[in-house]
Amino acid sequence: MTEFPELPHGFVFGTATAAYQVEGAVEADGRGRSVWDTFCAQPGNIKDGETGEVACDHYHRHAEDVALMRDLGMDAYRFSLSWPRIQPEGTGAVNPAGLDFYDRLVDELLAAGISPVVTVYHWDLPQPLQDAGGWQSRATAQHLADYAAIVGARLGDRVRMWVPVNEPVVVAMFGYALGVHAPGLQLGARALPVAHHLLLGHGLATQALRAAGCHTIGTASNHAPTWPASDSTEDRAAAALYDTAYNWLFADPVLCGSYPDHFAEAMPGPVADDLHVISTPLDFYGINYYQPTVIGAPGATPAQSSPLAALPLPDGLPFEPRPLSGHPTTDFGWAVAPEGLTEVLQTFRDRYAGQLPPLYVTESGCAVHDVVGADGQVHDPRRTAYHRDHLRAVAAAIADGVDVRGYFVWSTMDNFEWAEGYRQRFGLVHVDFATLRRTPKDSYRWFQQLLAARP
Q: In whole angstroms, give the CA distance from residue 239 to residue 184.
A: 26
State which residue, 127 or 330, has the beta carbon closest to ligand BGC: 330
Site map 202..241 versus ligand BGC, x via CB under 6 A: --------------------x-------------------
Site map 165..184 versus ligand BGC, x via CB under 6 A: -xx--x--------------
Indicate whether 410 belongs to the interface with ligand BGC (CB under 6 A).
yes
Cβ count near 453 (within 10 Å): 9
Indicate whether 163 belongs to the interface with ligand BGC (CB under 6 A).
no
Report H helices in 112-191: 127-131, 139-155, 168-170
Cβ partners under 8 Å of residue 9, min gap 6: 455
State which residue, 136 or 411, has the beta carbon closest to ligand BGC: 411
With CB under 6 A as the rule, give the number of residues binding ligand BGC.
10
**Rounded least distance, CB 113 to ligand BGC, Å:** 25
Q: Please tell me whether the peptide bond between 137 and the residue prior to it is cis, using omega within 30 degrees of 0.
A: no
State which residue, 327 or 423, has the beta carbon closest to ligand BGC: 423
**Rounded least distance, CB 367 to ligand BGC, Å:** 7
Q: In whole angstroms, give the CA distance from residue 121 to residue 90.
A: 12
Return the C-alpha torsion angle 28, 33, 37, 39, nearest 10: 180
Catalytic residue, chosen from 23, 167, 320, 417, is 167
Q: Which of 18, 195, 229, 245 binds ligand BGC (CB under 6 A)?
A: 18
Has 53 been annotated as catalytic? no
Indicate whether 417 belongs to the interface with ligand BGC (CB under 6 A).
yes
In angstroms, the Cα distances linking 311 to 178, 315, 432 are: 7, 12, 29
Q: In whole angstroms, give the CA distance from residue 177 to residue 360.
A: 28
Q: In whole angstroms, give the CA distance from residue 30 to residue 43.
A: 26
Has 50 been annotated as catalytic? no
State which residue, 238 or 367, has the beta carbon closest to ligand BGC: 367
State which residue, 176 or 228, has the beta carbon closest to ligand BGC: 176
State which residue, 149 or 336, has the beta carbon closest to ligand BGC: 336
**Rounded least distance, CB 241 to ligand BGC, Å:** 22
The one segment of 23-31, 164-172, 231-239, 377-385 that binds ligand BGC by CB under 6 A:
164-172
**Rounded least distance, CB 211 to ligand BGC, Å:** 26
- The strand pairing partners of 329, in sequence order, are 335
Q: In what order do the strands lie in the sheet with 320-322?
A: 226-228, 293-296, 320-322
State which residue, 176 or 210, has the beta carbon closest to ligand BGC: 176
Indicate whether 124 belongs to the interface with ligand BGC (CB under 6 A).
no
Q: Which of 51, 247, 279, 288 binds ligand BGC (CB under 6 A)?
A: 288
> At 205, which helix (H) or strand (E)?
helix 192-211
Site for ligand BGC in 21-50 (CB under 6 A): 21
Cβ partners under 8 Å of residue 186, min gap 6: 177, 178, 179, 312, 314
CB 126 within 8 A of CB 32: yes
Site for ligand BGC in 337-396 (CB under 6 A): 363
Beta strands at 12-16 and 404-410: parallel, antiparallel or unpaired: parallel
Burial class (CB in 10 A: 0-12, 13-18, 19+), 283: middle
- The CB-nearest residue to ligand BGC is 18
Catalytic residue, chosen from 108, 320, 343, 363, is 363
Indicate whether 75 belongs to the interface with ligand BGC (CB under 6 A).
no
CB 36 within 8 A of CB 182: yes
Site residues, ligand BGC (CB under 6 A): 18, 21, 166-167, 170, 222, 288, 363, 410, 417
- Point out the residues that are catalytic: 167, 363
